[in-house]
Amino acid sequence: MIAAIIQARMTSTRLPGKIMLKTCNKTFLHHMIDRVKHSKTLDKIVIATTINKTDDVIETFCRENDIFCYRGSEEDLLDRYKMAADAVSADLVVRLTSDTPLMDPTVIDKIVNIYQNNQYDLVSNNLPLPRTYPDGMNVEVFSHKILNEIHKEAKKHSDREHVTFFLTMHPEKYKIHRVDYEIDISKYRFNLDYSEDYDFLKSVFEGMYYSDPLFTLEDIIEWLNEHPEILKLNKDIKPYLGILQSFQEDVNLGFDNSSKEFLG
């Protein structure tokens, strides 16, 4: 069974409650779920949120939309993923994040198919760096077995917070494959992290949703090329700030700084 496990919480430090912000009469989380449901490879969609009371609204959303919701650790995301995968007896885990409302289901299917037709431990379109897909179109696929293994072995804060970092940092042990786009389109930013991202994503949805709710990645790029002014809305946001903060927490806890190794 292939389960998309989507991490979601309301207590984002940069833009609190971001996934419940609205555009085109729906929350960004609702838009993402509607798009992910059109994947041809997924058997189940799981929302993995926290036991924090602020995330009750996410559980309510899941109940109203018939989506399985697992609630677990707020800080230990790796544990939350492992327990969510256990709860639905997933064989294969597709890791998605709730701050990627433009997710294209055909991208998910491409990554899953590559995983199924090869012998990799992790197939991703964003790791290891440098990626060629936009930030905000991130998909990672790995087995439940591998998830259980790294859950036991990962100790660093960055490994527990970012789920697949442990695999990426041990290429001598794990077979990792990054899927690249036909050309490098990593200059585009589709993540929802800051108010500038909200302005950008709201503009994209308002410009495209009503003519075709299932617009593709290629449709987005074409539309942005026709509306270059929209790209200016979030162009000044620096990438990887959350990742770098996580590496700094490793240092604070007495671990070696792995940021240079990870970022290349």
Report pLDDT digits (tens) over 143-178: 999 999 999 998 888 788 889 989 998 999 999 999
Q: Considering the chain, what is the average pLDDT of its residues?
A: 92
Distance CA 44, CA 50 (A): 19
Distance CA 125, CA 134 (A): 9
Fold of 2-263: Spore Coat Polysaccharide Biosynthesis Protein SpsA; Chain A (3.90.550)
Residue 253 has pLDDT above 70, yes or no: no
Report pLDDT digits (tens) over 23-37: 999 999 999 999 999
Distances (CA, A) of 217 to 1, 4, 107, 208: 26, 19, 8, 12
pLDDT of residue 115: 98
pLDDT of residue 8: 97
Distance CA 106, CA 174 (A): 26
Report pLDDT digits (tens) over 124-134: 999 888 899 99
pLDDT band at 14 (very low <50, low <70, confident <90, very high): confident
pLDDT of residue 69: 98
Per-domain residue ranges of the chain: 2-263
Residue 240 has a CB neighbour count (10 Å cut-off) of 14
Q: Tell me the mean pLDDT in the region 43-55.
A: 98
Angle at 151 between CA 77 and CA 57, to 5 degrees: 25
pLDDT of residue 254: 53
Report pLDDT digits (tens) over 95-116: 999 999 999 999 999 999 999 9
Q: Is 177 helix (H, G, I), strand (E, B) or coil?
A: strand
Distance CA 158, CA 258 (A): 9
pLDDT of residue 239: 67
pLDDT band at 226 (very low <50, low <70, confident <90, very high): very high
CA 137 to chain centre: 7
Name the residue among 173, 181, 195, 83 with its Cα closest to residue 135: 181
Q: Is 79 helix (H, G, I), strand (E, B) or coil?
A: helix
Q: Tell me the mean pLDDT in the region 204-233.
A: 97
pLDDT of residue 162: 84
pLDDT of residue 181: 98
pLDDT of residue 248: 44
Please state, for a pLDDT cut of 90, what percent of the chain lies above it.
81
pLDDT band at 257 (very low <50, low <70, confident <90, very high): low
- Which segment of 8-17, 77-86, 224-233 scores lowest on mean pLDDT? 8-17
